[in-house]
Every structure is written in C-alpha cells, then in structure tokens.
Amino acid sequence: MTLRALLRHVGYQVVGEARDGESGLALVQRLQPDIVCLDVQLPGINGVDVLRGLRALYPELVVVIVSGQIDRDTMAKVIEAGANGVVVKPVSEARLVSALEKAVEASARRREAGEAVSRAGGAGKKELP
C-alpha cells in the first residue's frame, strides 16, 4: 500500500504529493498543510534541506520523516533540522499512526510551553519613559 493510500485508509486527508524537494517546498507554501510526511531521498533538493527550508518558513509545521534510508548520520541530521518524528519504511499502519499522533502531540506541547513562557516573560516588564 502506498503512503498516500495508507494515510487515507487511517483517516487523514492527503492534500498533495510532490515528486521532488523543490516542488515539495512550493506545494507546502501553496497548500499550507497541518502535517508533512517527507522522505530523505528526493531528487533535486534532498529531504534534510527541504526540512530546513520548511522550519525556516513554518517553525510550527509538523514534519514526519518517512524513509527507507535512515542511517545514524542521516538520523542526526533530521533531528537537528527539526523533524517531529521519523518512521522507517516499510511502514505499518500502526507505526505510522503512532508516529503522526506523537509528533502532533509533541508539537502542541512545545507550542503551549512557548506560549506560557511568552506570557510569563511579558508579565513583569515595565516600559521605559
């Protein structure tokens, strides 16, 4: 089963699919999805560089790497670049759903923690005359 079919089967709406890194970046900019599933091995711009570009443009976007090519070095790069999760192919329905749910929950917790810090940080500030 393809990733698209698997995602649809478990209830996700697939709004787009790109064949290479450059068109993937453009597609995300145009469609503004909630979650991006991204392979590391892409023609043109590789997945790690696409992930870095997505983080620069959309720091809150949930990005899960779904790839068959994950060695230690690549894993370190995707974590450093800000992946919310990693799933190694072949992908089972249960592993994919679990990874997506964990990535969304972790992203929401980070956002809430950031908002709490922002609110707390602004509470004691005084304006200078």
**SS3 call for 83:** coil
pLDDT digits (tens, 9 = 90+) for 60-90: 999 999 999 789 999 999 999 999 999 999 9
Q: Say how far apart CA 14 and CA 36 lie, in whole Å.
A: 10
Q: What is the four-CA torsion angle of 48, 54, 57, 60, rounded to 10 degrees?
A: -120
This prediction has a pTM of 0.84
Tell me which CATH code domain 3-121 carries: 3.40.50.2300
At 27, list the tokens. Answer: 């597609």
What's the one-letter identity of residue 81? Answer: A
Q: How far apart are CA 21 and CA 67, in angstroms?
A: 14
Would you list the domain boundaries of the chain?
3-121
The whole-angstrom separation of Cα 116 and Cα 129 is 27
Q: Which amino acid is at 13?
A: Q
**pLDDT tens digit sequence for 1-59:** 789 999 999 999 999 999 999 999 999 999 999 999 999 999 999 999 999 999 999 99
